[in-house]
Structure 1
Amino acid sequence: MATSTPLRPPAQPARTPAWERATATGPRPGPHRRLGLRLGFGLDDRNVLLLYVLTRVGIWTTAYCARWLFAEDRKARDVEPALSSWDQWDWWHYLHIAQDGYFPGGAGPWTDDWDNREAFFPGFPLVLRAVHVAIPDWTVAGLLISFVSGAVAVLALARTARLHLPTTNGAPGQRTVLFFLLSPCAVFLAAGYTESLFLALALPAWLAARRRNWPLAGILACLATGVRVSGLFLAAAIAVHFIATTDLRKQWRSLPWIALPALPAALYAWFLHAHTGDWMAWNHAQERGWYRNFHAPWETWQNTWNAAFAHTHSTGYAIMFQAELVTMVVGLLLFAVLLRRRRWPEAVYVGLSLWALGTSYWYTSIPRATLLWWPMWILLATWSLRRPWVKSAYLCVVAPLSTILTITFLTGRWAG
């Protein structure tokens, strides 16, 4: 889950930490420090990719074992097909959109048992349909998209981390990627979901913005918005970074690139209106299917607390709501730290995400959203490099939790 210059930079104290000095705008680093979007692969990049592949092997091994150890029929002598573990929940929405479109045969919100598929942006289904041309199996195509996208994402994440704490080695980047790939919800990076594809576009977009390559940043953020609505939060962060680091009188020609990420959302709203007559069809689908109608933040907290501890739901659902509460607290702490350190763009990105997730009837999918909070993983890695015990504590607590949640997802028990 890089940074920019504060809106009004304060005078630097005498003993400013190295990572804060690295994030301030000043003379641009030499060629050996330009970590933005260079295509060459150094030793650090290869180590990051090796770490990525090893964690993929670990997840696939867990999937294999889960099919044998947690079969629905405890007396079964055979197991489900290997790919069945990945055909879970949101995947079916993406698959149905890729296969049949949004309103097949005139069906829609006006029909009974409608699946509210218009709640999902079209980016991932479009890529899935394109990859399916070469990969006949839909599940394999989805897993391949996430695998390739995840590799791009971790490379970009590592390079973003190195902007915070430049060193002669790749410790910041590798440590950040390690924490990220072992995070509790890391299984969603391997599944046919949108997280990997979104990050593969969003993180390079942020790196391009850090290098003040506004056309590239705008194009990549535009593509990210087509995958997830979170792309609009990224666009807001890039806009804040643009305002903070440029002279608008000289860079006004770049403003259309900054506004470009709003285009996919506008086109999608127009498409849905053309088929449903409702400009807010996306939001209404979210309300029908996932109770994302607006509530005050304190009401949302109370509703989630009751769902977690009032014994109104089964234990499987209750513990998921408990996880939602914990991750909301983590997100608020992250937001506070970013504000305190005057990292305005990242604070805007995380703050908008928390507002969107924290004003529904109850919290939904916040643990998954932590995968998109790249500032959190970078701050945690930076902290661990100063305090070695942080790494040990993180791995001892999170690695078993990540395994449990991976098995939960792969055995169909995630949503209760």
Structure 2
Amino acid sequence: MDVTTRQTPPAPARAPRAPRRQETVWSAGLALAVFAAVRGAGALVIAVGAWWAGRNPVRVLGGSWDSYWYLSIAAHGYGRTQMWPASDSIQSDSAFFPLFPLLVHLLGGGPVAGLVVAWTAAAAAAVGVYRVGERLLGPRAAVLLVALWASLPHAVVLGLAYTEPLLCALASWALYALLRERWLWAASLAVLAGLTRPTGIAVAAAVSVVALRELLRGSRAPAVWAAGLLAPAGWAGYVAAVGIRRHEWLGYFTVQRQWGSRFDFGAGTVGVVDKVLTGGDVTIPVAVTVATLAAAVLLAVLLLLDRAPLALLVYTATLLVITLGGAGFFESKPRFLLPAFPLLLPLAAAMARARPRTAVVVTACMAGLSYGYGAYLTLMAKVPL
């Protein structure tokens, strides 16, 4: 598979553009319908499981784990700190970036508003993932790309009031804008991505590196300069704001360390993997996380061998470095990689060449496993998502 470019056959002379536009709209609609069916069924499984367990489904979907912090920020602003003397942990809400709670606040706050923002963003992300796949691989593979992405083990997060759906939406459309050389659109979306999650810096990295390449090639377009310089502004702006508020230049990273998160160049990840491989006592989420990380590394190698566009390589590599190199909340690492949808491009290309029945069976099996694991994480597991 060569995902660098895709040849499009010439359209009929009488209507040079309409057929391709109609095909794209129809296929994008199909991709959105597939995504809605897969994740809608997943949300239904969670809701039924919560109801059966005597829990409020809306609270489970819209107010679990990190959602609690985002809803608190949306309702009361920043300033909440929770201390755990037993583990020497100080949890400040400054660790959470502001765009998602701001959008929730604008919709009135509460779990329902959080779900509306998340589900709307997830739908936008599905179309964005499709457009990237369609441009590189064609409509059929792009629909399969969306189906695979919606069926990942941690795809349950796409139906929760979390920030991953919003980051996925901004990242996918920013990458699509880069592939079309829409520099200011890409940079603007990168700024918003940087205000969404710490890993939003991956979008800015993609924009800035591709802009730098164009400048080294001799481009002097003002839009390229502007994009390269503007892209990191959202992420850098929030990190600087936390530092100013705490009277400490690296205050944001202090907040992260107090939560138990730090960058240790992969030492913690290697230690957990070694424990799993040597037969140590591990939980289901830890085992699934190790398998997910291994699959991600393998798919990253395939993506590199397939000569993917530089923007996708930089974006994906940045997410992998942050995820593999970070310590703390090991079971959450697959969630951190959920926005790394370009990793699925080689698999989607292979499935597009297979028989339709094979693609359906593979996707259905993945979705079924995703439903079961998602229900386990949200309703049974005692570890953070």
Q: TM-score range by the shorter chain?
A: 0.7 to 0.9
2:106 is aligned with 1:139: no
CA distance in 2, matches of 1:309, 1:214: 48
2:7 and 2:285 map into 1 onto residues whose CA distance is 37
**Aligned letter for 1:211?**
R
Is the alpha carbon distance of 1:364 and 1:251 closer, same or farther for their aligned partners in structure 2, counting shifts above 3 Å?
A: farther
Alpha-carbon distance, 1:323 to partner = 1.8
| Change beyond 3 A, Cα 1:186–1:404 | same
The aligned counterpart of 2:371 is: 403
- Structure 1, 232-241 or 194-203: larger mean CA deviation: 232-241
Q: Structure 2: how far apart are the matches of 1:346 and 1:23? A: 19
Q: Which residue of 2 aligns with 1:231?
A: 200
State which of 42, 47, 50 in structure 1 corresponds to 2:25. 42
Which residue of 1 is the match for residue 124 of structure 2?
152
- The Cα offsets for residues 274-299 of structure 1, whole Å up to 9 and x where unpaired, read as 2211222222222222x322324255
Aligned partners of 1:276, 1:85: CA distance in 2, in Å? 33
Give per-residue Cα distances to partners, 1:264-317, cap 9 Å, x unaligned.
Answer: 22221232122211222222222222x3223242553124543786656xx6xx
1:357 aligns with 2:335: no
Structure 1 unmatched runs, 5+: 1-16, 25-29, 72-78
> Structure 1 residue 188: deviation in Å?
0.5
- Provide the rounded CA distance (Å) in 1 between the counterparts of 2:163 and 2:4: 32
Shift in CA distance, 328/265, structure 1 to aligned 2, threshold 3 Å: same
Q: Deviations over 1:5-27 (max 9, x none)?
A: xxxxxxxxxxxx67544289xxx
Q: State how far apart, in whole Å, the 2-side matches of 1:348 and 1:164 are.
A: 16
Contact 1:175 / 1:381 at 8 angstroms: preserved in 2?
A: yes
Q: Deviations over 1:17-58 (max 9, x none)?
A: 67544289xxxxx856988xx9x9822122222223323431
TM-score by length of 2: 0.85
The question of 1:22 aligning with 2:31 is answered: no
Task: Find out whether 1:172 has 2:141 as its counterpart.
Answer: yes
Matched residue type, 2:127: L
- Identify which of 66, 72, 82 aligns with 1:96: 72
Counterpart in 1 of 2:306?
A: 341
Q: Secondary structure at the match of 1:115?
A: strand
Q: 1:202 to 1:223 in 2, by over 3 A?
A: same
Deviation at 1:114, TM superposition (A): 4.2
Could you tell me whether the CA contact under 8 Å between 1:23 and 1:163 is conserved in 2? no
**For residue 283 of structure 1, what is the aligned residue in structure 2?**
253
Select 1:59's aligned residue among 42, 64, 70: 42
Gap change, CA 1:190 and 1:276, over 3 Å in 2: same
Report the Cα distance in structure 2 between the residues aligned to 1:358 and 1:60, rounded to whole angstroms.
Answer: 29
Equivalent residue of 2:37, what SS? Answer: helix
Q: How many angstroms apart in 2 are the aligned matches of 1:385 and 1:85? A: 36
- Asked if 1:306 is matched to 2:294, the reply is no
> Are the equivalent residues in 1 in contact too, given 2:141–2:351 (CA < 8 A)?
no
Check 1:32–1:292 CA distance in 2 against 1; reply closer, same or farther (3 A cut). Answer: farther
Distance 1:250 1:272, change over 3 A: closer
Partner residue, 2:99 = 123
| Counterpart pick for 1:385 among 352, 355, 359 | 352
For 2:41 and 2:84, locate their aligned partners in 1 and report how far apart those are by CA, in whole Å: 44
Amino acid aligned to 2:71: L
Shift of 1:250: 2.7
Instruction: Choose 153-162 or 235-244, whichever is displaced more.
Output: 235-244
Change (3 A) 1:109 1:122: farther
Change in Cα spacing, 1:415 to 1:305, as seen in structure 2 (3 Å) is farther
The Cα offsets for residues 49-94 of structure 1, whole Å up to 9 and x where unpaired, read as 222332343123202321244x2xxxxxxx2223122221111111
Q: Does structure 1 retain, via aligned residues, the 8 Å contact 2:323–2:337?
A: no
C-alpha change, 1:377 and 1:303, in structure 2 (3 Å) is closer
Q: Secondary structure at the match of 2:338?
A: helix
Partners of 1:146 and 1:391 lie apart in 2 by: 28
Q: Corresponding residue for 1:6? A: none
**Cα distance in 2 for residues equivalent to 1:392 and 1:309:** 36
Q: Distance in 1 between matches of 2:214 and 2:358?
A: 33
CA RMSD in angstroms comes to 3.1
Instruction: Find the aligned partners of 1:220 and 1:31 in 2 and give their Cα distance.
Output: 28
Q: Which runs of 5+ in 2 are unaligned?
A: 9-15
Q: Contact conserved, 1:338 with 1:346, CA < 8 A, in 2?
A: no
Equivalent residue, structure 2, for 1:4 = none
- Where in structure 2 are the equivalents of 1:3-22 lying within 5 Å? 19-22=3-6
Cα deviations by residue, 1:315-373 (Å, 9 ceiling, x for unpaired): 6xx22122221122122212222332333332222222122122233545221133211
Contact 2:170–2:193, Cα closer than 8 Å, also in 1 = yes
Counterpart amino acid of residue 415 in structure 1: V
Pair 385,414 (structure 1): closer, same or farther in 2 beyond 3 Å:
farther
Determine if contact 2:27/2:143 at 8 Å carries over to the other structure.
Answer: yes
Structure 1 residues 19 and 299 mapped into 2: Cα distance closer, same or farther (>3 Å)? closer
Instruction: Note if 1:85 corresponds to 2:60.
Output: yes
Does the CA contact (< 8 Å) of 1:222 and 1:264 recur in 2? yes
How far apart are the structure 2 equivalents of 1:52 and 1:253? Answer: 34
